[in-house]
Amino acid sequence: MAKDMTLLWGDGSPPCWRVLITLEEKALQGYNSKLLSFEKGEHKSQQVLMINPRGQLPTFKHGERVVNESAGACMYLENEFKEQGTHLTPTCPKERAVMYQRIFEASTLGQKLGDVIYYDWKVPEGERQESAKKRNKEAAGVELSLWEGYICKGPGPFLAGKNFSLADVVVFPNIAYAFHYGLCPERFPKLAQYYNMLKDRPSINKHWPTSWTDTKDLLKDIAKTK
């Protein structure tokens, strides 16, 4: 039982999904799970700000230990509960190196996708520029092409090698997010294959964002670079 853990999370957030997946993989049940609404601004409530001064989700606490950064929380849980549930760290040093690299570079992927997806939301109407939108899309294309290449690199089929690892926990939500926002599977066939391989994994499927009922098209014209 994990009664001394609290996770405050928001639906549709890749960082939150990572922590939910890890808790599931590590067979940690009975934690205090609280779904908050971004729309209602609940991520800026006192309840969150007391633990996470940035007012962001996920917000995670184990006893008195606070680990709000999603990848940090996943790594923390894997280390604290090494022998429980799925082993999410490869024993092979080479695969471990790849895992760490992918975990940390996932933030660049998230940022490049966000630059396209949230452009209109972040930039006031009078200041929006088609050229800036185009540049963001090109940069997202370059980044996604890197990840498309990673899927065929190494022994696979998972990101760090033969087994599902923390790299997949951290990166899969970003890949699913890209397809939800309209990334074209024909243009990124390896990413699509990776997505299809993992989408029904119980830990992933159980926490699939319920708000993702329709697909958006913001990333539909993103192309692969050579």
The residues binding ligand GSH (CB under 6 A) are 10, 13, 15, 43, 55-58, 69-70
Smallest separation (angstroms) from ligand GSH to the CB of 182? 18
Beta strand extents in the chain (DSSP E only): 5-10, 32-36, 59-62, 65-66
Given the complex with ligand GSH, which of 70 and 203 has the nearer CB atom? 70
Least separation in angstroms between residue 91's CB and ligand GSH is 26
Torsion angle in degrees (nearest 10) through CA of 41, 42, 43, 48: 150
* Nearest distance in Å: CB 224, ligand GSH: 26
Place of tokens 């397809």: 179
| Helix and strand numbers, DSSP H then E, in the chain | 9, 4
Tell which residue, 39, 50, 41, 43, has the closest CA to residue 8.
Answer: 43
Residue 95 phi, psi dihedral angles, 5° rounding: -70, -35
Return the number of the residue (65 or 94) whose C-beta is nearest ligand GSH: 65
158/177 with CB nearer ligand GSH: 177
* Nearer of residues 70 and 163 to ligand GSH, judged by Cβ: 70
Write down the least CB distance from residue 156 to ligand GSH, Å: 25
